[in-house]
Amino acid sequence: MTYKKLLTFLTVLFFSSTLFAQKAESKPSIRNLDFLIGTWEIQFEFYNTYHPEKGIWFTEKGTQTCYYDLDLNREPKYIICKGEVTCDSGRFKDRERTFLEAIRYGNFVDGFERIGIYSNWPGTAKEYLNYDSITRAMTIQGELDVRNGKERYEDIYLFDEGNTSYTRKNVANFPDMPITKFNLTVKGTGKKIASKKQD
């Protein structure tokens, strides 16, 4: 084989292996979070972020339904989760509230993003979400508008082996706290009570 033919062969081999590797590395899509689709029975235990050692401040119970929405070429781009909860103890007993969370894969940030809006709060939550399929841990880091600044927080969901139930823990930092101090704010649980697949 001549030098020129060898060089041509190696060049073709290099480019074809590069193209194959690119095809093999498919980008994540919203369908990576398919296990969220369905209706969940949820419970939240809220703590006073400044004094979590005082115990549970109040609790909420309800449901959250997640479904695909906003298609592009018949492929869903978002998971929308709508929750309805009622406070069953503590300072807000009998209060009912709703919330809406929209999750997408953001190409500009190369990761999952979530926006949260709440009937009881005038601020909007802006979050980055990561799901590890090996440990079944979903980590959410975000900010929520509060008076005089932003609440920064981290929310960790630990799912069971079938992704049908989870425990969650939220720690937060308020603008008037030392910047490195994150205290317990919410503990919660979720259990899937209905699955609904969409194509």
CA angle, residues 25, 28, 34, in degrees to nearest 5 = 135
Question: Tokens representing 68?
Answer: 């695909």
Amino acid identity at 29? S
Q: How many domains does the chain have?
A: 1
Structural domain contains residue 10: no
Residue 132 sits in a domain whose CATH number is: 2.40.128.20
Q: Computed from CA positions of residues 119, 150, 187, 138, in that sequence, does the dihedral angle turn out positive or negative?
A: positive
Alpha-carbon torsion angle 36, 119, 113, 62, nearest 10:
-20
Within 10 Å of residue 83's Cβ, how many Cβ atoms? 21
User: Measured between alpha carbons, how far is 36 from 140 in angstroms, rounded to an integer?
Assistant: 15
23 in any annotated domain: no
> Residue-wise pLDDT tens for the chain (199 aa)?
565 654 555 455 454 544 444 444 678 899 999 999 999 999 999 999 999 999 999 999 999 999 999 999 989 999 999 999 999 988 899 999 999 999 999 988 999 999 999 999 988 999 999 999 999 999 999 999 888 899 999 999 999 999 999 999 999 999 999 999 999 999 999 999 998 755 4
Residue 68 lies in a domain: yes
Q: Is 8 a domain residue?
A: no
Q: One-letter amino acid identity for 4?
A: K
Q: Residue 13: inside a domain, yes or no?
A: no
Beta bridge partners of 65: 39, 82
CA distance 142 to 140: 7
Let me know if residue 61 belongs to a domain.
Answer: yes
* Residue 19, in any domain of the structure: no
Q: How many CA atoms lie within 13 A of 83 on its CB side?
A: 23
- Asked whether residue 18 is domain-assigned, the answer is no
Q: Which domain holds residue 165?
A: 32-194
